[in-house]
Each structure stands twice: as C-alpha cells, then as structure tokens.
C-alpha cells in the first residue's frame, strides 16, 4: 500500500517540460539557428513529441526549472518559443489521436542524470 501511495505522490512531484516553437527557416542563417536550437534540446534530453514540440521528463520541479533555464539560454534570435511545465499526472491524462483513432502515449525512456 505504501508503494502505491508514493507512486501517486510522484505523479504530482515529477514534471514534464514541453517546448513549443515556430522558428524562421527562410535564410541559411535561420536554418542553422533552428537546427542548433533543436540539437540543444536533444542534447539536453528532450525528445520530439511532434514537429516543433519537444518534451522532457524531470523527477522534480527543481530539475524541470534547470532544464527550462537551459532552453531559455539557447533561445534563437528570432521565432516564437513556448515552455510549459506540467505534472506527470496531468501529462498522463493526454488524449492522443492518429486521424480519428485514439492511440496510447509512448513515454520516452527514463534517463539517468549524474551531477
């Protein structure tokens, strides 16, 4: 019973960081900046959820804030970027569809972080 209690609490403590972006790609410089931004997200443990939407699981709100700061540090000069933090519990309530067919959410693999 205790284990279930702790896993339920973790769903409210653990966070997902979602990064939404719309970056210009008209010039070579713009394309390089957009590619660098996406590469930085991948290097920081984010995975692509959809085109221009990347997500990352974090064990705590404090850890999520660290990754949010890293995203802000690497913002490109132009374009729109949004950052959203939600709890694991909230993320688990997402409804996904491919066409009109509902699909299950594939969670990315857990990552071990060493500090």
Entry pTM: 0.81
Phi, psi of 42 (to 5 degrees): -65, -45
**Domains recognised in the chain with CATH numbers:** 14-88 (3.30.70.240)
Alpha carbon distances (Å) from 86 to 17, 20, 52, 78: 7, 14, 18, 26
Read off the pLDDT of residues 43-76 as tens digits, 9 standing for 90 and up: 999 999 999 999 999 999 999 999 999 999 999 9
């Amino acid at each position: 019973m205790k284990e279930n209690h702790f896993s339920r609490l973790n769903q409210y403590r653990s966070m997902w960081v979602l990064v939404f972006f719309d970056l210009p790609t008209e010039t070579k410089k713009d394309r390089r900046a957009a590619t660098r931004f996406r590469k930085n997200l991948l290097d920081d443990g984010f995975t692509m959820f959809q085109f221009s939407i990347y997500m990352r699981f974090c064990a705590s709100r404090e850890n999520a804030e660290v990754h949010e700061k890293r995203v802000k540090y690497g913002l490109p000069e132009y374009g729109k970027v949004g950052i959203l933090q939600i709890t694991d519990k909230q993320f688990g309530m997402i409804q996904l569809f491919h066409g009109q067919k509902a699909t299950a959410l594939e969670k990315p693999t857990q990552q071990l972080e060493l500090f």
